[in-house]
Amino acid sequence: MKQFEVDDNEEKIGRWNKIEHAAFIEGIKLFGKNWKLVSQHIGTRSSTQVRSHAQKYFLRESTRQAVKQQAKEYYAKLPSITEIKKSTKDASTQYGEGISFPKIQIVSCMHVFV
């Protein structure tokens, strides 16, 4: 059985390997969005394949940045450990003295029975 080989003139199909992706990133840095030159830099992908890969790559990167920003904003809103310590009070229970519990405010409690 013959082993599959890729000629230098043939283009690959399927998933991009790490070497191709690294060459893609390098090509973007060197040639911008000139897909033909990026394709030549990679050597194994057509300009159409490069353009499609770029579209997916940029979409993934923008999503990753948006998630990162959302997480940053979320964690910025959380109280610091010193604020949490200030808002706790000591309480005695049947199990021990001086156990700290956070203060809980119940604004309203309404049960509706039909």
Query: How many angstroms separate the CA atoms of 61 and 28, rounded?
Result: 14
Residue 61 counted as domain residue: yes
Predicted TM-score (pTM) of the model is 0.57
Residue 2 counted as domain residue: no
Q: Average pLDDT of the chain?
A: 78
The structural domain count of the chain equals 1
Segment 34-81, tens digit of pLDDT: 999 999 999 999 999 999 999 999 999 999 999 999 988 888 888 777
Q: Which domain holds residue 24?
A: 18-102
Residue 113 counted as domain residue: no
pLDDT attached to residue 27: 96
Q: Residue 26 CB: number of other CB atoms within 10 A?
A: 13
pLDDT attached to residue 11: 75
